[in-house]
Structure 1
Amino acid sequence: MRFPLCPAAVALAFAVQPVLAADEKKSDAAESAPEKDVPPPVVSVTKHKGMFGGQAVSYTATTGETYLKDKDGKPLAAIFATSYVKDGGDPKTRPITFLYNGGPGSGSLWLHMGAFGPKRVVLPDAKDDGAPPYPIVDNPESLLDVTDIVFIDPVGTGFAHALGKKDPKDYWGVSADAKSIAEFIRIWLNENGRWNSPKYIGGESYGTTRSVALINELESSYNDVAVNGIILISTILDFAAPAEVQGNEMPYVLNLPSMATTALYHHKIANPPATPAEIAQQARDFAIGPYAAALLKGNALAGEERARVRAELARLTGLSEQFVDNANLRVTPGRFYKELLRDRGLTIGRLDTRYTGVDYDRAGEEPDNDPSFYAIDGAYTAAINSYLRDDLKLKMERDYVTIGGVRGWDWKLQGQGGRDGEVYVNVAPYLSRAMRENSGLRVFVGQGWYDFATPFFGAEYAMNRPGFDPARIQFHYYDAGHMMYVRPEDLAKLSSDIRSFIRGR
């Protein structure tokens, strides 16, 4: 049975509708409004002048936070960045370069204060940095004569952090990290009117992995950000090949040339060649020939063949035949760091094997620590904090996270499922695809002869696969390690090489 509504009820129904609508609007506004505990971004803008690459440049430095937001405009995370933009530059012809470091979990202070920023910290070459004060000087090797530069700190590094209740782990993964940096770059291009500028991206160490994951985010959709060049410094793209697990023979092949250059540097090779390049080539030839064949034969290797391989391996590594025999012709990097100079009571570095350290005793299996890292970390930490707060007038209460603030990194690649997604992390196919689909994309690769964190032969191997165009890949080598710019001569060479790379577009 149907009951007609009385006039009072009809009036009440119409009166309630506007109230409900108003309540819904309030709810929508509350969801889209910034959380109460999220302050506005901290930003500082200053003007400067300097001499870079022999040219006088006036530029604007902008340092501070950029908020990443959800579709409703709610801030989720703050990316921290410092940009240097030439005053009066033509956005149609003036390149812009986005740089970051690696880790994952490292701030951009190393490239910023060591290589390409307008100021740099001075360190004694291959020696302990000691205690402050550390000299912070003008850096004529900065690239500001040929490109504007943006140094980026991803979430969990530097001053970058998640906002409100957002979990920072949502940004801690190969693909998630690359997405966040791609979003930042799009925001920066929007705010600075630089969509049609020549563009370069680049990083060091894991930053090279980030660069290649990033190019996949920038150029693999219809809303592309086309890139002119990728700068890879101390490169690692394939994490499976060098994985130190029993049964994987590739690490021994890829590490051998770095062992040979290191042995040459420390005068452990009899009748040595004149240059690292020469011993590196000898080691490459042996590694992919007799040595690889010997490793693949496993227990079937015996007799005279084993003796020949053992003798040449000992010669190239500077270790005794007895030691390499005891190691079954498979010397791990950690053992090499400890054994090479054991007779001198010294260990060698991992990031840069030119550096030496003294352990608690000489009897250990591996070094107590990496002398090439503890020899520089104090100086860089002091330099970035002093420079940002004093020179660039940044008012920031947070601590600058240099490295180590990120945990539980997700190594799975987006779209890569099944067993491959669990065990074989290799972003190199992203790069080969990007090169095939962007004929203007070129790649710069800079490697140190004495780097064991990202050995040069590993970088060569990753980009010598089918699908790459070798004519658009430049390899450059330096007489230092992972952070080759700590050596003044190699800072100048690295700067010159990249300057030429950018000019050659």
Structure 2
Amino acid sequence: MLLASCSAMAQGPASAGTSPAETKAEPAKPYVPLSSTTRQSGTFGGQAVDYSVTVAETVLKDDKDETPKAAIVTTAYVAEPRDPNRPVTFLFNGGPGSGSVWLQMGAFGPKRVAIPSNAKDDGAAPYPLLDNPDSLLDVTDLVFIDPVGTGLSHVIGTTEGKDYWGVTKDAKSVADVIRRWLNDNGRWNSPKFLGGESYGTTRSAAVVNELEGGYNDVSLKGVILVSTILDFAAGADTEGNELSYITNLPSMATTAWFHKKASGASAEAVAAEARAWAIGPYASALLKGQKLQGTERAAIRTQLSRFTGLGEDYLERADLRVTPDRFYKELLRDRGLTVGRLDSRYTGKDYDNAGESPDNDPSFYGIDGGYTAAINSYLRDTLHYKTDRQYVTIGDVGPWDWKIDGGRDTNAYLNVTPYLGRALRENKDLRIFVGQGYYDFATPFFAAEYALSRTGIPQDRVQFHYYDAGHMMYIRDEDRAKLASDIRQFIRAR
């Protein structure tokens, strides 16, 4: 009784002639999704295109389709007049926790932020926003998706982010958004492509499973993987895992060549030689463990030094096993510099030169300011999307649920490659595009090749393309143009 009285008092006095028991709470206001549409025009791939841009929240509800739980923001670029038979490509970045700003404002959207192409720091604002003739709008409509906790996407009411933070939970929500977009825009019979970068490639495989793994299929024409990570064991730098030393070695070799610590005709030539040695003599040596001794060990050490640019004394102390983190610090220690993780063309200067690993990644802090400013300005000032939220370029979406199909709750055991294999086997028109940078340690090119060469992957429908840059190869002007050209051909070949 006392609690009831206190509650009534907290609400204020009842109107005259009305008892507290008759006072009714006002019903909750329905959630109204934000949306903004503008009309633009530009020239892409040499073709003039009129297009609309719609930034909109897609509201996801509970299992009863009643209570709003989350709002996922999409940015859709659609050529006008609209053609229901035109290809449409759904794109997102990775992290997990990364917004789609990187692909949208760096590679495929009609506008891009101008940052240095030569692996130099982007400095401070203002950052020019330029027309992007390399946008793919001449061949496909584009829908950029920001999963919950990234970009401007968010949970609603009492919903918790953990409801969407996991390999499968995230994939289900993204697949739901795709189905909803197709329905709302009358595009069910359009040729459909799906693409992601970094963890976005992991997400791509999981979303393919959600779209094509049941009876109510959304069949795809192609999947675009940019800087690929599918089998996490191939890049797990954990004690006892020899595989990551093998898959990282070619990236170390190309990086050493770039910084003139190793010889070779080109990054392509160095990569080819390093692959063969890594999967052959080096793999065999690592598997022998402490039984590798004498002249055989010395020969491996000498070759490893030749490929990596690191001294034999250092390699011996490391037991012929150098983690990427140590490599970033050691390669240019004599110059007082570290190299980047996302893009090892970048160099940085640490507090001192004595540490075992870098203070930070110069290839990330060298670009983040420009992208953050550009997306917040572009959405508000050009696309007139009004919100009090700040765009989350890289957000905290943890703890992340890594389990799939009853597997272990750790990414070291995660492998989503079989999802792609099954989709390829069950959809004769599906093809896979893989774009990899030679200077990328976040998702090494040899690890991508390893994952996609396993049993069950039809090799004739997987194509690899390589770029003289790192994780975000489109930062380099020449490689942005090459990436766009390669993907145009991939889409046109449908």
TM range (shorter): over 0.9
CA RMSD of aligned residues (A): 1.4
Other-structure match for 2:351: 360
Other-structure match for 2:269: 278
- From 397, 406, 418, the counterpart of 1:416: 406
Other-structure match for 1:83: 76
d(CA) in 2 for partners of 1:120 and 1:364?
37
Other-structure match for 1:483: 472
d(CA) in 1 for partners of 2:197 and 2:123?
25
Q: Cα distance, 1:424 vs. partner?
A: 1.7
Equivalences for 1:234-273 in 2 at 5 Å? 234-269=227-262, 272-273=263-264
Q: Tell whether 2:301 aligns with 1:323.
A: no
d(CA) in 2 for partners of 1:241 and 1:286?
17
* Secondary structure in 2 matching 1:481: coil
d(CA) in 2 for partners of 1:170 and 1:420?
16
* Secondary structure in 2 matching 1:289: helix
Of 203-212 and 67-76, the range deviating more from structure 2? 67-76
Pair 421,335 (structure 1): closer, same or farther in 2 beyond 3 Å: closer
Amino acid at match of 1:462: A
- From 109, 118, 124, the counterpart of 2:110: 118
Amino acid at match of 1:80: V
* Secondary structure in 2 matching 1:283: helix
Q: Cα distance, 1:324 vs. partner?
A: 0.7
d(CA) in 2 for partners of 1:170 and 1:110?
25
- From 144, 150, 174, the counterpart of 1:151: 144
Deviation by residue 1:268-289 (Cα, 9 ceiling, x = unmatched): 01xx221111111111111111
Q: Cα distance, 1:421 vs. partner?
A: 8.0
Of 160-169 and 224-233, the range deviating more from structure 2? 160-169
Other-structure match for 1:304: 295
d(CA) in 2 for partners of 1:36 and 1:273?
68
- From 453, 473, 480, the counterpart of 1:464: 453
Other-structure match for 1:13: none
Other-structure match for 1:396: 387
Matched residues, number: 468
* Secondary structure in 2 matching 1:241: helix
- From 349, 360, 365, the counterpart of 1:374: 365
d(CA) in 2 for partners of 1:502 and 1:72?
36
Question: Does the Cα contact within 8 Å between 2:201 and 2:227 map onto a contact in 1?
Answer: yes
Question: Does the Cα contact within 8 Å between 1:38 and 1:163 map onto a contact in 2?
Answer: no
- From 433, 438, 452, the counterpart of 1:449: 438
d(CA) in 1 for partners of 2:144 and 2:410?
30
Q: Which sections of structure 2, spanning at least 5 residues, go unmatched?
A: 1-24
Deviation by residue 1:455-504 (Cα, 9 ceiling, x = unmatched): 00000000000111111011000000000000000000000000000000
Question: Does the Cα contact within 8 Å between 2:433 and 2:463 map onto a contact in 1?
Answer: yes
Other-structure match for 1:128: 121
Amino acid at match of 1:174: V
Deviation by residue 1:420-479 (Cα, 9 ceiling, x = unmatched): 988621000111000000010000000000000000000000000011111101100000
Amino acid at match of 2:453: N
Q: Cα distance, 1:87 vs. partner?
A: 0.6
Moved over 3 A (4+): 419-423
Other-structure match for 2:375: 384
d(CA) in 1 for partners of 2:412 and 2:41?
49
d(CA) in 2 for partners of 1:196 and 1:422?
36
Pair 435,421 (structure 1): closer, same or farther in 2 beyond 3 Å: farther
- From 219, 222, 228, the counterpart of 2:221: 228
Question: Does the Cα contact within 8 Å between 1:38 and 1:164 map onto a contact in 2?
Answer: no
Equivalences for 1:144-183 in 2 at 5 Å? 144-183=137-176
Other-structure match for 1:19: none
Other-structure match for 1:435: 424
Amino acid at match of 1:244: D
Q: Cα distance, 1:138 vs. partner?
A: 0.4
Q: Cα distance, 1:404 vs. partner?
A: 2.4
Question: Does the Cα contact within 8 Å between 1:448 and 1:477 map onto a contact in 2?
Answer: yes
d(CA) in 2 for partners of 1:164 and 1:373?
34
Q: Cα distance, 1:168 vs. partner?
A: 1.3
Amino acid at match of 1:444: F
- Normalising by structure 2, we get a TM-score of 0.93
Q: Tell whether 2:34 aligns with 1:45.
A: no
d(CA) in 2 for partners of 1:422 and 1:136?
37
d(CA) in 2 for partners of 1:405 and 1:332?
26
- From 470, 478, 483, the counterpart of 1:494: 483
d(CA) in 1 for partners of 2:432 and 2:229?
14
Q: Which sections of structure 1, spanning at least 5 residues, go unmatched?
A: 1-29
- Normalising by structure 1, we get a TM-score of 0.91
d(CA) in 2 for partners of 1:38 and 1:317?
60
* Secondary structure in 2 matching 1:453: coil
* Secondary structure in 2 matching 1:240: helix
Other-structure match for 2:21: none
Deviation by residue 1:43-93 (Cα, 9 ceiling, x = unmatched): 00100110000000001100021101223332111001100000123212x
* Secondary structure in 1 matching 2:470: coil
Amino acid at match of 1:131: A
d(CA) in 1 for partners of 2:411 and 2:264?
43
Q: Among the aligned pairs, what percent are the same residue?
A: 66
